[in-house]
Amino acid sequence: MSFDIPTFHAEAVRTPSHEDVSAMRDLLLETLREAGHEPDVDARGSVLATRGDDDGPHYVLNTHFDTVAPHVPYERDGEVVSGRGACDAKGPLAALLAAFLRAEPTAGRLTLALTPDEETLMTGAAHLEETLSADGYVVGEPTGLDVCVAARGQCEGTVTVEGEAGHAASVPAERNPVFGVADVLAALRRYDDDVGPDPDPVLGEPKLTPSGLEAGDAPNRVPGRCRITFDRRNVPPETSDSFRAALESYLAAHTPDELSTSVELIRPDTPFPDPFVTDEDDPLVRALADAGGGEVRPFGAATEASFFAADAPTVVFGPGVLADEAGAVAHAQREYVRLPELEAAADAVERTLETLLR
């Protein structure tokens, strides 16, 4: 089978995978089978295929085949393809799939591991963290062909401020949780200066962002509780679990005694990506940087790469960009990728594998 990147990419972008990934998974399985491979689907719905043998190093190519909503139709204007998933992440998917099919490991093993829920729950990658072990991972995301060796972690949660519910004419101000919101917001602003982790040499500072407020249902009634939502971008050594506990303790000490606060993660039963940093001098980093010609830098968003970085050196790499001079690209209505970048990404990964699996 001759695998044509633009043809596969067009079919992938035309296949909606923002609500149901079944059709996209079927496309991947069909493509791999036509190329002579026998892919598997694991317990969490990831697609896996392997080539080579166990006599030597093991490298994994990973990306995801789900997208955010809404679906944006495929369009092509010369060398520019637009549509949902064009760069995030069906562009990297096409490039990694091409590299997997072209590679001829002379020593070691190559695994293609494609996950179904990176944009939502990330349970696919969390399961692979338990079932895969390798010497290195290449995770496909839009990096403009730069080699990204680090990313901040990300989690979301709520701070609940509880006080006394009742008529607006009778509830004391010190028991009114709406007044307490001001104390909590001030504490959230000071948190990293007071007790947060130090800036990371590669990733920089952590970021804590209040993003929503829910309180009350009538102008003459004080609610018993108010809820603030937040987004946390963390850096080592902080994890989502350690952050939740530390923030709850900090808020308890910085809100009035007449009120109580609690902190909960929004998805306590599903994983959040923690921050990671890969050594810039690792052979995987150097080989891919040499092959692709891009710079070595951190990635600008949270990614499934953090699940693999605990096992082995991990890099994020692929065609397309998260944003350009006009604004957001990935997840935006104007999402696009340039076809020459798909070919360049595939060539760079193929050359990297030739270096590492020989």
Instruction: Give the tens place of pLDDT for each residue, 65-93.
Output: 999 999 999 999 999 999 999 999 999 99
**Do 128 and 14 share a structural domain?**
yes
Residue range 19-30: mean pLDDT, rounded: 98
Please determine, for residue 145, whether its predicted confidence score (pLDDT) is greater than 70: yes
The predicted pLDDT at position 268 comes to 65
160 inside domain: yes
In this predicted structure, the answer to whether residue 336 has a pLDDT above a threshold of 80 is yes
Mean pLDDT score, 141-156: 96
Residues 157 and 89 reside in one and the same domain: no
Cβ atoms 192, 208 nearer than 8 A: yes
0.95 cut: is pTM over it? Answer: no
- Digit-coded pLDDT (tens) for 157-192: 999 999 999 999 999 999 999 999 999 999 999 999
What is the four-CA torsion angle of 242, 245, 251, 252, rounded to 10 degrees? -150
Count of domains for the chain: 2
Q: Quick one: 253 and 310 in the same domain? A: no
User: Residue 267: how many CA atoms within 13 Å on its side-chain side?
Assistant: 12
Please tell me whether residues 114 and 30 are part of one structural domain.
yes
143 within a domain of the structure (yes/no): yes
- Residues 336 and 296 occupy one common structural domain: yes
The domain boundary residue, chosen from 226, 246, 265: 265
Mean pLDDT of 96-125: 95
Residue 1 predicted with pLDDT over 60: no
pLDDT bin (cut points 50, 70, 90) of residue 267 is: confident
- Per-residue pLDDT at 271: 83
Of 335, 247, 273, 6, nearest to 126 (Cα)?
Answer: 273
Neighbouring residues of 341: CB distance < 8 A, sequence distance ≥ 6: 91, 144, 145, 319, 320
Tell me, what CATH number does 203's domain have?
A: 3.30.70.360
SS (H, E, C) the chain: CCCCHHHHHHHHHHCCCCCCCHHHHHHHHHHHHHCCCCCEECCCCCEEEEEECCCCCEEEEEEECCCCCCCCCCEEECCEEECCCCCCCHHHHHHHHHHHHHCCCCCCEEEEEEECCCCCCCHHHHHHHHHCCCCEEEEECCCCCCEEEEECEEEEEEEEEECCCEECCCCCHHHCHHHHHHHHHHHHHHHHHHCCCCCECCCECCEEEEEEEEECCCCCEECCEEEEEEEEEECCCCCHHHHHHHHHHHHHHCCCCCCEEEEEECCCCCCCCCCEECCCCCHHHHHHHHHHCCCEEECCCCCCHHHHHCCCCEEEECCCCCEECCEECCCCCCCEEEHHHHHHHHHHHHHHHHHHCC
Quick one: 10 and 132 in the same domain? yes
- Domain of 92? 5-151+275-356
Q: Is residue 275 predicted with pLDDT exceeding 70? A: yes
Residue 128 has pLDDT above 80, yes or no: yes
Mean pLDDT, all residues of the chain: 96
pLDDT band at 54 (very low <50, low <70, confident <90, very high): confident
Cα–Cα distance measured from residue 116 to residue 67, given in angstroms and rounded to the nearest whole number: 9
Residues 138 and 280 in one domain: yes
Same domain, yes or no, for 181 and 112? no
Examine the domain organization and report whether 225 and 320 are in the same domain: no
For residue 270, what pLDDT is reported? Answer: 73
Q: Is residue 246 packed enough to be buried (19+ CB in 10 Å), middle (13-18) or exposed (0-12)?
A: middle
Q: Are residues 133 and 238 in the same domain?
A: no
Q: What is the pLDDT of residue 55?
A: 86
Q: What is the pLDDT of residue 117?
A: 96
Average pLDDT (276-288) is: 97
Q: Grade residue 310 by pLDDT with cuts at 50, 70 and 90.
A: very high
Residues 338 and 222 in one domain: no
Main-chain dihedrals φ then ψ at residue 268, nearest 5 degrees: -65, -20
Task: Evaluate whether residue 234 is within a structural domain.
Answer: yes
